[in-house]
Amino acid sequence: EKEGYEHFTLKEIYEQPKGVKDTVTRRIDASGDLKLEGLQITKEDLAAINRIYIVACGTAYHAGLVGRRAIEKFAGIPVECDVASEFRYRDPFIDAHTLFIAVSQSGETLDTLQSIREAKRKGARVLSIVNVVGSSVSRESDDVFYTWAGPEIGVASTKAYTTQLTAFYLIALYFAKLNGYTTDSYRHEILKELLKMPTMIQSVLDKTEDIQKLAAAQFNNEKVFFMGRGVDCDLAFEGSLKLKEISYINSFAIAAGELKHGTIALIEEGTFVIAVATQDRLYDKMLSNIKEVKARGAHVFAIAQEGNTEIQKTADEVFYIPKTMDELAAITAIIPLQLFAYYVSLARGNDVDKPRNLAKSVTVE
C-alpha cells in the first residue's frame, strides 16, 4: 500500500499534486467556468449572508485561517475562524444570516460535529469541507464540498490540508462570482493560476533533497521557532504543528510582528528560526524581522518566492517556491515545511506515521 515509499506520510506528501488537481478539475466545466457540485447556495442565499464562521480543529483549522483570507479578499464577506473546542463554548452570535463552514478530513471530529449542531440550532446554514465521503460531518451539513485527496493514513495531515486550501480558494471564487465583489478578470486570473498549482507543487517536491539536507543539519534542535506575516503566519502555525507532532521538538509559531512584544527574549545564540516570507507586500517587513533575530544569534531558514533574492543576504538558507500570485503561495510554501517535519522525525528515529499520544480521528471531547 505504501507503493515503495518508506512511510504513508511521505507517500501522502507526494500525492499532493494529484489531490489538488482532482479537487480543482472536477469543479471546472467544459467552458472553463466554476461548478461546485454539492453546493446549493444561490446568489439570493449568499446575498442574505452577512457573516461566516469557519470552525475546525488542528490542521483543518489552519486551513480555515487561509480560507478566511481568501473569502474576505475575493468575496468581501466578513469571516471569523475559530477552533471547534472554543467556538462551541463561547456563545457565538449566530442567526439565519450566518454561514457556518466546518472543515474536517475525517468528518468525525466530535468538537467540530458539536459545533455544527450548535450552529444549526441557532439557524445557520452549514457548509462543510470534508475528505471522507458519507462521514458524520457531511451527513449533517446542508452543503458539502468534498476534497478529493484520497484516504489519508499518516496521522499527520498533509494532502488533506493542501486540498482544503484548494477547496477554500474555489469556494471563495464561487462566492465572488455570485456576488460580484471582485472583477471577472481577477477571478479568472486566480483560477488560471490555481490550475498550475499541481505542476508547481511537483517542482517543489523535485527539490526534496534540499530539505533533507536541512533536516540532517537541524534535527537535534531542542526548540524551533516559526514566524511569518499575513498568510505566511497561518503557514507558520501549520509548519510548527507538523514539526511538533511527528518530531516531538518543542516548536511554536508567531506572527513576526509580535516578536518584539515578548517572544524575542527566547532567541539566543544558535536558535533555529524558520521564516516564511512569500508575500510581496510584507517582504520588507519580514526582512527586518529576520535581521532582528539574526542580531540575537538565530540561525534562519527562509522560504521565499523565486526572484526575491534580497533575502539571501540575511537568512542562512533560503528555499524558493515557484513565482506565483501571493494569494495562492500557501499551497506550495507549505510543502517544504511538511518535508522538513518528515525528515526530522525520520532522523530522530520516531514512528513517523503513528506519532506517540495521537490518533488519526478524534471522536472524544
Q: Which residues bind ligand F6R (CB under 6 A)?
A: 57-60, 104-106, 109, 112, 156-157, 241, 245, 361-362
Residues 6+ apart with CB under 8 A from 76: 176, 179, 181, 182
Closest separation between CB of residue 83 and ligand F6R, Å?
A: 10
Q: Which residues contact 67 (CB under 8 A, 6 or more apart)?
A: 54, 79, 81, 101, 103, 164, 165, 167, 168, 171, 172
Structure-block grid coordinates of residue 201: 507543487
Q: How far is CA 185 from each of CA 179, 180, 188, 295, rounded to the nearest angstrom?
A: 15, 11, 5, 44
Q: How far is the CB of 246 from ligand F6R (least distance, A)?
A: 8
Nearest residue (CB) to ligand F6R, 143 versus 327:
143
Cβ proximity to ligand F6R, 241 vs 302, nearer residue: 241
Smaller CB separation from ligand F6R, 241 or 331: 241
For residue 305, list its beta bridge partners: 321
Q: What is the DSSP letter of 322?
A: P
Evaluate the CA torsion angle 61, 340, 248, 108 in order and state its sign. Answer: positive
Give the shortest CB-107-to-ligand F6R separation in angstroms. Answer: 7
Rounded to the nearest whole angstrom, what is the least distance from the CB of residue 101 to ligand F6R in the complex?
A: 13
Catalytic position from the list 73, 244, 285, 360: 360
Retrieve residue 323's grid coordinates: 513565482
Minimal CB distance residue for ligand F6R: 58
For this structure, is 177 an active site residue?
A: no
Hey, what's the cell of 355? 506519532
Q: How far is the CB of 254 from ligand F6R (least distance, A)?
A: 19
Under 8 Å between Cβ of 38 and 148: no
Q: Which is nearer to ligand F6R, 106 or 162 (CB)?
A: 106
Radius of gyration of the chain (CA): 20
Instruction: Give 59 or 271: the residue with its C-beta nearer to ligand F6R.
Output: 59
Shortest CA distance to 282 belongs to which of 337, 241, 235, 335? 235
DSSP three-state, residue 32: coil
Helix (H, G, I), strand (E, B) or coil at 214: helix
Q: Which residues are catalytic?
A: 360
